[in-house]
Structure formats: C-alpha cells, structure tokens
Structure 1
Amino acid sequence: MTFVLVLVLLVLVFPWGGAAIARRLASVLPPRWACWELTGAAVLLAGGTIAALMGLFHVPFLASQEQVPLRRVVEVWPAAIPFAGMAGVALLVQSVLLMRRWITHRSLLKRAWLTAEEGTGDGDLLVVPGSDVDAFALPGYRGRRGRIVVTSGMVRVLKDGEREVLLAHERAHLDGRHHLLSAVVDLAAMVHPALRSLREALAFHLERWADETAAAVVGDRRVTAAAIARAALARASRGRADGYPLLSVTSGPVPQRVQALLLPEPAAPRGGARRARALGMAATVAAVALVSLALAYGLHEYVEYSASQLLGAPSGPSGLWSALDTLLGS
C-alpha cells in the first residue's frame, strides 16, 4: 500500500508546485489571459486535491465492494482506517470552510447593498454620502443589477478626468464579471493552502485588467496612472469603511499597477513567442488536469488490484501494478 500513499502525497504536494508555475506563467501574460489562467489552475488543483482525499477516504469501502473483509484490509495495511479517517476529517473541514466562506461572501454582499441604498445617482452609478474615500464594483444581488458605488469623499478627491478613469475601471469589473473569477479562486483557496497565493495573484491581475480597460477608454495611460495613485493615497490617509466585497480601483499593490501603466500597453505575444507561450499555458493546464485525474483514478484502480491480489484472483493490470508495488516496496 506504499503506492497509495505515494499517490495521495503527490496530489497533496502537487498544488505547491502547480501554483508556483501558474503564478510565473501569469506574470508573462496579458492581464486578461492571466486571470483566466489563474482561475483555471485554481479549479483544477482544488479538484485534484478533493479527488485524492475522496479516494483515500473510500479505500475501506472500495475494498468491501471487492468483497475483501475489512479485517483483511487492516491486516495488509494497518494504516488504512486511520488514513481514511484523516481524509474524512480533512474533507469535513474543507466543507465547513467552503460553507463559511460562501456565507461570508453573501453576508458582505448584503451589507454592501444596504450601504449602497443610501446613495443617489443615475444608471449604474451610486454616490454614497460620507467622508470615507472609496469606490468599488458592487455585483448584482437578488435580481438587482450591478452598480458602481462611489463615496462623496472619493468624488471630492479626484479631478474630472480622473473620475472618468475611476468609473471606467469599475465598469470593467462589472462588465467582465470579475467578481465571479475572484469568488471561484477564493473558494478554491479554502481547499488547499497553496492556492492562497493564486488568490493574491488573481486580485492583482484583475485590477490590472480593469486598469488597462480604463486606460483604453480614457485614451491616456498617464492620466489613468495618476488617478489610481491619487485615489490610493487618499484612501490610505482617510481610511475606508470595512466589509465591502469590493473590486476597487485602490486595491492590490498600487505601485506596481501604476508602474505598469507608465509602460506601453501589454500585448498578446506575437509570432513564435505567442505560439510558445500559448502552448506553455495549454501544457500547464493540461498537465495539472492529467496529473490530478490520473493520480485520483490510479488510487481507485490500485485498490481494485490489491483487492484482487488478496482474493487470489487474476487482474487485468496486475503486471503494471505488481511492478509498481514491488518498486515502491509495498
């Protein structure tokens, strides 16, 4: 049963390396591509982790389906029950964390909408009175379409051209439904601690995506950079109300965002470089999917093989599994 442990450990350790590769790849991609790549990687890595834990949790049950008594399973692999129990506890903890996180998301969204009801405005813009300096994209809630919420303190801080940047930035968040990508990766981060770094990376690239959209709308990258810097400085000095599930113009590492806006617009790789990077992204995503699925499936198949060996019955893949079992010292 050493092979079972190797399978599970690979799946549980793989997200650390997979997350590092995904972050590195995102850093060389345009913001839009980076956001989708990070979201896909988070989903696949979280799915692989859950599949591995489910497989380990079901080892005793899979053995019983193969008509192997539980007593015999414990004799061959004494750690089967403890490991299955730990996997069950891990799955239960993940379920609780996911549910709590989801409830937190809904609660914060509800609170934000209650705050937004104090605002006035036309169309998708709501101006909330108060001295707080803030602006954020508020996703739709219970049939209400998304809105851009801006405090009167933020309106006073920015100049006319900079206000246009702010509105274009937040509209980019709403139009691109960036809150969904953010929520997916945030929930995935509850499954495995390695995925928390993807949540931070996604937050940065989502803001970069909105920054580039705002710069294209305004037609001036320097004005866009100045507006973001001014808004961030004003919020830092005056504070903001807590509890908003926001995608805000002042979020993320603002200095890096401003620096990126002072450079030429990032473009998709062209020619050979474009093909190489596109293939690299596809290969990374495919590798994550294949490794996660193959290891989870391998766990199930190995239990079936082990059961057939205990029963003394021939098994189709016994040559392969027997060789692996011998190699790994089971």
Structure 2
Amino acid sequence: MRVAVYLPLLLPLLAALLAPRAGDRLPPRAATWLLTTGALVLAAASTAALGMLAVTGLIRIPLLARLAHHHWSAAAAQHHDPAALSVAALAALALAVLTAMAATMLQRRIRTLAATAREAACLPGRDQLVVVDDPAAEAYAMPGRPGRIVVSTGMLGALDGAEHQVLLAHERAHLTHRHHLFVALAQLAATANPLLRPLAAAVGYTVERWADESAATVTGDRARVARTIGKAALAARRTSARTRVPATALALLGRLRPGPRPALGPVPRRVTALLAPAPGGRTWTATALGGLAALTVLCAAEAAHDLEALLELVKHAAARGR
C-alpha cells in the first residue's frame, strides 16, 4: 500500500483547523451543510482506509490463506506490501473499536430521538408551543411529529412581547430545518473519527446561527435578535431549571445537556455575528474544505486501486505455486 492510504487518516486534522473559520465566515445554512457533509465524507474515507490497511494484514496470515484453500499467497503479500504488519494490526484494532463506538452511538441516538418524539407527542395541548410553569428561564425545541416548542414561564417573564417573537422564530427554525439531524450526523462522523470532533462542535454552533438568522429574517431586526439572546442568557444564568430537558433538544442558548444548569454555548460569538453584517457568499474556507473532502475521496480511491492490484498479485502468486 502506498502513501495514499494514510492521507485520509491525516487530512481530518486540516479540516478540524478550518471548521471554526467556516462557522464564522460562511452563511450559517451553507456552513452547516458543508461541515456536516464534509465530516461524513472524511469519516467514511478514514474508515475505508483503516479497513484497507487491516486487509493487508489479514492476507499475510498463512492460516487464513490455508483456510481459504490457498486462494492467495501470504508470502507474496508479505513481500510486496510495504505497510508494516504492526501498522495493519493497529489499523484493524482501531477499525474494530471505532466501528463499535459509532454503531453504539447511532443506536443510542435513534432511541433518544424516538423517545423525544414520543415525549413531544405526549405534552399537553395540541399547539406547537407548550408553556411550562418553571421560574427557570429556558426554551427549547423538541423534534418529533409534530415537534414542540417548550418555553418556561421564567423565560417569558424575562423577555418582552417583541422578544417572544424572536424566541419562537428561532425555535421554529430548529424544527423546520431538522437541525437535530445535522447535529446527530456530525456527531456520528466524529465518533467514527475523533479527529472530526471540531467539525461536530462547529455544526452545533452553525445550526444555532442558522436559527438566529432565520429569526432575524422573520422579525427584520438583527439587533433585536442579538438583544434577545443576550437577555435570555443573563436570565438563564440567574435561575436553575427544575424540569428535565431532553438530550436531543435544541435551545435558544445552544445545545442543552441534562444537569442543574444549562450549557449556554458560544453566545457571545452569536451576538457579535448578529451585530455585524450578514455573512457573504463563498470564501476560501469553503473552497479549502471542499477541496480536502475531494482530495480525501481521491486518496481513498487510489488506495483501493492499490489494494486491488495487491490482491490480484497475491492471487496470481498462489496460482503459480500450485
């Protein structure tokens, strides 16, 4: 195997460095799609690279060659493959561990989303908006069919009427655009390749920015949206929630995690972005991320071609030895 098989394992490091820039400089919708798609492509390519390295180790085991009725020559594989057997063994171990982790994460996420959908359907009333009696200032969207928006009396009391409109527009954007799916897919990619965690974190930020910009479009006032987020953050800091927040909920203040106090997320960055002009079109960051994804796919394809050539060689060697 040549150097091409190792590049899909290393290029995610460059993508991780570019992710925060993409989140700040691109329009949030475009950034979310780019980062999520890029994370999935990079994760798939790195997984394929680990699999190909693992195969080069397996075909060097004489016992497996005998069990396969000598369909390939283990000695020829050992001679012609430049990758060390220890590298192949480490790749096989990493592939097994990361695949198991990704499968477990996917299973848990599906269960959690299903539980959240059931919980949303069981909330009182038939309106999308559900008001809960809780002095803690919180608001979040629960995905489901239908999705529900939960707002506490504490949050309603902390904001005025115009700011209520901002809050509802933000949460409706989360439900309308299925932001929880982008977050889940990015987290799945980061589980399959931990080097992609910065991309998953960036997606968590860009979906909030996407909802912020949607609220700004609905209300026609970016400064009001920024002011609402700031006031909500201050109110949340002063209070402590009594109600349990679903793990898949997306909130005005960012991703909420179970616990006595909400995790507010990068609120200052969002406020600063809203007080600045709206992000423009494509930048070099988007081009660089797209180029990295394309290069990773090309490297994985080249590595697959090398592996195919190696397999053909060891098969012909086995055929000549019979």
TM-score (norm 2): 0.80
Is the contact between residue 119 and residue 129 of structure 1 (CA under 8 Å) also seen in structure 2?
no
**Matches of residues 280-319 of structure 1 in structure 2 within 5 Å?**
282-295=290-303, 297-304=304-311, 306-307=313-314
Paired-residue identity, %: 36
1:187-222 deviation digits (Å, cap 9, x = unpaired)? 000011110000111111111111011011111111
Once residues 294 and 19 of structure 2 are traced to their aligned partners in structure 1, the CA distance between those partners, rounded to angstroms, is 12
CA distance in structure 2 between the aligned counterparts of 1:282 and 1:92, rounded to whole angstroms = 28
What's the Cα RMSD here?
A: 3.1
Question: Contact (CA 8 Å) 1:31, 1:206: kept in 2 or not?
Answer: yes
Match of 1:125 among 129, 135, 153: 129
Q: Contact 2:134/2:152 (CA < 8 Å) preserved in 1?
A: yes
- Quick one: structure 1 residues 68 and 80, their matched pair in 2 at CA, closer, same or farther if it must change by over 3 Å? farther
- Deviations 1:67-109 (Å, cap 9, x if unpaired)? 3333554566697655444333222212221233224324544
Looking at structure 1, the residues matched to 18 and 319 of structure 2 have their Cα atoms a distance apart, in angstroms, of 44
1:263 maps to amino acid = A
Q: Is the deviation greater in 199-208 or in 56-65?
A: 56-65
2:248 is the alignment partner of 1:245: yes
- Give the distance between the partners of 1:100 and 1:131, measured in 2 at CA: 36
Give the Å deviation of 1:267: 3.4
Counterpart secondary structure, 1:189: helix
Amino acid in structure 2 at the alignment position of 1:218: T
Q: Distance in 2 between matches of 1:17 and 1:279?
A: 13
Task: Tell me the TM-score normalised to structure 1 length.
Answer: 0.78
- 2:106 pairs with 1:102: yes
Match of 1:147 in 2: 148
Task: Kindly provide the CA deviation profile for residues 103-148 of structure 1, in whole angstroms up to 9, marking residues without a partner as x.
Answer: 43245445645765674454211222323322112111xxx32121
Q: Which runs of 5+ in 1 are unaligned?
A: 314-330
Q: How far is the alpha carbon of 1:233 from its aligned partner?
A: 1.7
Please name the residue that 2:278 is paired with: 265
1:149 deviation in Å? Answer: 1.8
| Equivalent pair of 2:53/2:91 in contact (CA under 8 Å) | yes
Conserved 8 A contact 1:43-1:185: yes
- C-alpha change, 1:254 and 1:193, in structure 2 (3 Å) is same
> Which whole-Å CA distance do the structure 2 matches of 1:208 and 1:308 have between them?
54
Q: Work out the number of aligned pairs and report it.
A: 301
Letter in 2 for 1:294: E
Return the offset for 1:279: 5.6
For structure 2, the residue ranges without an aligned partner over 5 or more in a row are 255-264
Residues 68 and 103 of structure 1: is their aligned pair in 2 closer, same or farther, counting only changes over 3 Å? closer
